[in-house]
Amino acid sequence: MVTAKRWDCYARFYNLLLKTAASQREQLFRRLALSEPLTVYVAGCGSSLDLPYLPAQSAVLAVDFSAQMLKQSADLQRQLQAQGHELALTLRQGRAEQSGLAEHSVDLVLLHLILAVTDQPQALMEEAVRVLKPGGVISIWDKFAPQRIGWLRRTADYLSRKLGTTLLLQIDPLLQPHSLAIMQRHTMLYGQMQHLILSSNISVKR
């Protein structure tokens, strides 16, 4: 298990590494087509590279277990404010699977590059579904394994796990227990990455 202390170290070069995926991030937010202010949960936010793409005046909770990642998130928020892009951002250090949010309280949940990192992916999916409003959207972006996993991927996974992420996670078993409609599904980076836009179709009993 990779600790928060390890991710504090990764924070030194995290943004530089993620620049290689900047075009993918831009593509997925174009698909989401966000316009009006929203209530948003960013699970495992890292340095919060999603923030510039969220509509201004959105109320955002961003959770990560790395203090250094959250420090970078706060720095980014200040930069956005200086540019006139105001967000009501709350940063919280902790486990993404334990948001502390009320049930059915957010319009949008971002699970970007986190399901393959957490050691509790199913618990994180359950939390995302729990906090999502009826008709709300979950955006998932990660490196998911195909249905048949070859020996080369299994070998590479041994090293990737040492670094804090897995190459063997499959998305469909995570989705199966939940009442979610797949609105869009895209493969990226020659099939190595996937982006899914899911919608809750559960009505809340009153």
CB under 8 Å to 176, separation ≥6 — which residues?
none
Over the stretch 164-206, which tens digit does the pLDDT of each residue have?
A: 889 999 999 999 999 899 999 999 888 889 999 999 875 444 3
3-state secondary structure of 195: strand
Helix (H) or strand (E) holding 126: helix 121-131
What contacts 138, CB < 8 A, 6 or more positions away? 108, 109, 111, 128, 129, 132, 180, 196, 197, 198, 199, 200
Buried b (16+ CB within 10 A) or exposed e, 69-78: bbebbeebbe
Secondary structure letter of residue 67 according to DSSP:
H
pLDDT tens track for 29-74 = 999 999 999 999 999 999 999 999 999 999 999 999 999 999 999 9
For residue 6, what pLDDT band results from cuts at 50, 70 and 90? confident
Per residue in 74-128, pLDDT (tens digit) is 999 999 999 999 999 999 999 999 999 999 999 999 999 999 999 999 999 999 9
Which residues in the chain belong to E strands, given as ranges? 39-43, 59-64, 88-93, 106-112, 132-142, 180-188, 193-200
Q: Which pLDDT tens digit goes with each residue over 119-163?
A: 999 999 999 999 999 999 999 999 999 888 889 889 999 888 888
Q: Average per-residue pLDDT in the chain?
A: 92
Structure tokens at 129: 């579904």
